[in-house]
Homo-oligomer: A and B are copies of this chain.
């Protein structure tokens, strides 16, 4: 039997946070339902950032009403702060993802807080677990700009590990190591991740790579060697970061699924179904940047899904 690998689809969140067009709530839900039908097991569905910051997610509460139809899928929401966590829990999410930037410059630019202030907010969020409201909450913590920052430049691995230790001790259930701006390379991946996996001590470690400088899939292959088996990716490579100039998208879900399956890792994903979905998402969203080699070249004649 093939070893399993998991793709967390972030298209409906990371993928469209900067999209020009507001995507209707029913479309967002259809997107998620069709991801589920295509075998995707985890979806970051929306964000509880204030609508005045990202209007695209003004319908987060309404969208959450579709959660029962997504049974069998781990549907999570991004939360920017304690208030967002409370909103997400009230709306029915159990899985939430909180992101803090290791780079001080990125943290200030992204959320107008220092990294330490963002860590303090994490502690307030983690404290929700001890309340009636937060019982059973699964808290993922994203370590953004872990491989470098377009604003600050170098980000010290020691600082990444220090923050990872702090949040792991403080109630993070999952660690998401993010190359927010596409600076990572395979050698760096193999250097940075093993200590994080050790720090995580059995908690899931998820990699979130961007393909900004073309190394996204090379970094996935490197992370696989360190033992990572969960990756964030986005249908059609949609997405980026509004505060990371030149950040041109998450790694592409179809291409990543193709690579993983080719390498013998079973993702459970039907790539052809993703390609069909992608065509509809392109129609819904209109003028955005869509990437992807499999959408252009097709699967190899020799392709067989891992089983």
A149 vs B154: C-alpha distance in the bound complex, in angstroms? 43
Given A259-B185, A262-B185, A263-B187, A302 and B154 contact (CB-CB distance below 8 Å): yes
A217: nearest residue on chain B (CB-CB)?
Answer: B218
What is the size, in residues, of chain A's interface with B at 8 Å between Cβ atoms? 42
A301 at the interface (CB under 8 A from B): yes
Q: Are B188 and A148 in contact (CB under 8 A)?
A: no
> A285: CB under 8 A from chain B?
no
Is the CB–CB distance between B220 and A217 below 8 Å? no
Q: Is A227 an interface residue (CB 8 A)?
A: no
A266 CB–B CB distance under 8 Å? no
Partner-contacting stretch, out of A20-28, A37-45, A195-203, A291-299: A291-299
> Do B211 and A293 touch (CB < 8 A)?
yes
A95 CB → nearest B CB, Å:
29
Q: Does A148 lie within 8 Å of B302, measured CB to CB?
A: yes
**How many copies of this kind of chain does the complex include?**
2
Kindly state whether residue A55 has any CB partner on chain B within 8 Å: no
Tell me which residues from 86 to 106 in chain A have a Cβ below 8 Å from any Cβ of chain B: none
**Taking each of A211, A217, A247, which has the highest tally of chain B beta carbons within 10 Å of its own beta carbon?**
A217
C-alpha gap A183/B188 in the complex (Å): 26
Measured in the bound complex, the distance between the Cα atoms of B298 and A268 in whole Å is 36
A213 at the interface (CB under 8 A from B): yes
Q: Tell me the nearest residue of chain B to A251, going by C-beta.
A: B214
Q: Are B262 and A187 in contact (CB under 8 A)?
A: yes
- Asked if A297 and B221 sit within 8 Å, CB to CB, the answer is no
B301 to A150, Cβ gap below 8 A?
A: yes
Q: Is the Cβ of B215 less than 8 Å from the Cβ of A259?
A: yes
Cβ–Cβ < 8 Å partners of A182 in chain B: 297, 300
Bound Cα distance from A154 to B302, whole angstroms: 6
Query: Is A212 part of the contact surface with B, judged by Cβ < 8 Å?
Result: yes
Q: Mark A223-264, 1 if CB is under 8 A from B, else 0.
A: 000000000000000000000001110001001001100111
Q: Name the B residues within 8 Å of A211 (CB-CB).
A: 293
Residue A222 interfacial (CB < 8 Å): yes
* Cβ-defined contact, B186 with A293, below 8 A: no
Taking the closest CB of chain B, its distance from the CB of A99, in whole angstroms, is: 21
Rounded to whole angstroms, the CA-CA distance of A182 and B294 in the bound complex is 11
From 162 to 221 in chain A, residues with beta carbon under 8 angstroms from any chain B beta carbon are: 181-183, 185-188, 211-215, 217-218, 220-221
